[in-house]
Amino acid sequence: MMTMNVVQLAQNGELGTKGVNKWLIDNVVPLVLLAVALLLLWLGGGKGDNAGVMRRLAGVVIALAVIGLAVSGLGVNVGQWIAGLFTG
């Protein structure tokens, strides 16, 4: 009987992963960013290796850009723009 309710919810479009996606974006992403920031400070900041920290930070910024494209859904537009550069 319970599976019937789940099937009905799925057929009506009321069952999805929007809640999980929102929770991950709201909770997990900030925690990962905080962990990365603390790790960068711990690895390079205490030793005076500022150049090493900045190199790692560049990688973090690129990763954040990729996450932003994936979350916002604009990755398709960027892909079409890049493809348009190679096609006439």
Domains of the chain, by residue range, sit at 16-86
| pLDDT band (50, 70, 90) for residue 3 | low
Q: What is the mean pLDDT of residues 12-27?
A: 75
0.85 exceeded by pTM: no
Identify which has the larger pLDDT, 57 or 14: 57
pLDDT at 16: 67
3-state secondary structure the chain: CHHHHHHHHHHHCCCCCHHHHHHHHHHHHHHHHHHHHHHHHHHHHCCCCHHHHHHHHHHHHHHHHHHHHHHHCCHHHHHHHHHHHHCC
pLDDT at 39: 80
Identify which has the larger pLDDT, 75 or 44: 75
